[in-house]
C-alpha cells in the first residue's frame, strides 16, 4: 500500500498521527505546554514529529510494506526510527503541528488544505521516517521528460506570470491614491488589468492544466518525506 499525503504548517513542523493514539486530555494540555507533550508522545511512538525548518506545504509518502519503493531508495535519508508506532484506529493524519488533535479537529476543518488523512490497517508498526534528498532540478527535469515542449513551456510561463500579476495588482491599488484619476484610468488601469488577466487566462487553458496535473503527480511520486510502516507487531509485542 502506497499513498502520498499533503499538508502545510506555519510552525515549521509537520506531524503524522492517529488521533486515537493520543491521550484523551491531549487537546486541553496542548494549550499549556505543547512542545513537551509532543516530545513525549513522539518518544512513545504515538506520533511522528517532523521538523521542516520552515513554513510551507509538504508531502509525505506512506508506505505500508517491507521496504521503500526502488525508485525512492537512492534518495532516502533515514532521520527517525520507531520500534512501535501506534495506529490503533487505522486513521493517519498528516498536518501542521498547530493542527494536531485528539477530538477537536475544528482548526483543521477550518483550513482543510493544511492536512490530509488516509486509512491503513490498524496496528502497531515498526516504522522508519525518511527525508528524500533529490538532485537540483530533479522534479523539473522529470516534468520536462513527461510533457511536450509546449506543455512544459506553458507550465513554466505561469511561474513568471503569476508573480507579475500579483505585483501589478499591488501597483494598481497603490497608484490609485497618488495619481490623477484620468492618468491612472488611461495608462495604469489597462496595463495592470492586462498583466493580472494573463495568468488567469493561462490557468484555464488545457495545455497548462495538463502540465499542472503532471507536476502534482511528480510531487506525489517523489515526496519530500516518507514513512515506512513495516509488518505490524503481534499483540503480545505491542507496548
Tens-level pLDDT at each residue, the chain (239 residues)? 789 999 999 988 999 999 999 988 887 777 766 778 888 899 999 999 999 988 999 999 999 988 899 999 999 999 999 999 999 999 999 999 999 998 989 999 999 999 999 999 999 999 999 999 999 889 999 999 999 999 889 888 888 888 888 888 888 888 877 878 787 788 788 888 888 888 788 888 898 899 989 998 998 999 999 999 987 767 645 55
pTM: 0.82
Architecture of domain 2-134+223-237: Sandwich (2.60)
Residues 45-83 pLDDT 10s: 999 999 998 899 999 999 998 889 999 999 999 999 999
Contact at 8 Å (CB) between 77 and 132?
Answer: yes
**Which residues are 2's β-sheet partners?**
63
Residues 95-118 pLDDT 10s: 999 999 989 899 999 999 999 999
Q: Write the DSSP assignment of 98-144 as a string of letters.
A: GG--SS--HHHHHSGGGEEEEE---EEEEEEEEEE-PPTTHHHHHHH
SS3 content of the chain, % helix, strand, coil (to 5): 45, 25, 25
Please enumerate in sequence order all residues whose Cβ is within 8 A of that of 36, keeping only pairs 6 or more positions apart, or say none.
Answer: none
Which residue has cell 530533479?
138
Domain boundaries, the chain: 2-134+223-237, 138-216
Amino acid at each position: 500500500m502506497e499513498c502520498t499525503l499533503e499538508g502545510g504548517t506555519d510552525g515549521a513542523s509537520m506531524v503524522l498521527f492517529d488521533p486515537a493514539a493520543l491521550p484523551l486530555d491531549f487537546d486541553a494540555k496542548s494549550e499549556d505546554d505543547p512542545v513537551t507533550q509532543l516530545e513525549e508522545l513522539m518518544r512513545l511512538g504515538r506520533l511522528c514529529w517532523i521538523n521542516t525548518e520552515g513554513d510551507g506545504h509538504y508531502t509525505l509518502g506512506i508506505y505500508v510494506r517491507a521496504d521503500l519503493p526502488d525508485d525512492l531508495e537512492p534518495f532516502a535519508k533515514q532521520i527517525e526510527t520507531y520500534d512501535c508506532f501506534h495506529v490503533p484506529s487505522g486513521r493517519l493524519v498528516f498536518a501542521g503541528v498547530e493542527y494536531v488533535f485528539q477530538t477537536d479537529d475544528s482548526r483543521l476543518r477550518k483550513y482543510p488544505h493544511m492536512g490530509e488523512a488516509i486509512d491503513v490497517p490498524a496496528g502497531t508498526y515498526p516504522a522508519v521516517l525518511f527525508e528524500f534528498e533529490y538532485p537540483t532540478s530533479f522534479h523539473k527535469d522529470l516534468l520536462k521528460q513527461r510533457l511536450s515542449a509546449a506543455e512544459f513551456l506553458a507550465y513554466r510561463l505561469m511561474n513568471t506570470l503569476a508573480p507579475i500579476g500579483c505585483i501589478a495588482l499591488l501597483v494598481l491599488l497603490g497608484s490609485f491614491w497618488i495619481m490623477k484619476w484620468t492618468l491612472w484610468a488611461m495608462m495604469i488601469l489597462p496595463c495592470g488589468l492586462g498583466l493580472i488577466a494573463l495568468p488567469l487566462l493561462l490557468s484555464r487553458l488545457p495545455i497548462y492544466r495538463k502540465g499542472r496535473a503532471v507536476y502534482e503527480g511528480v510531487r506525489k511520486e517523489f515526496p519530500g518525506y516518507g514513512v515506512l510502516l513495516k509488518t505490524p507487531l503481534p499483540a503480545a509485542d505491542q507496548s
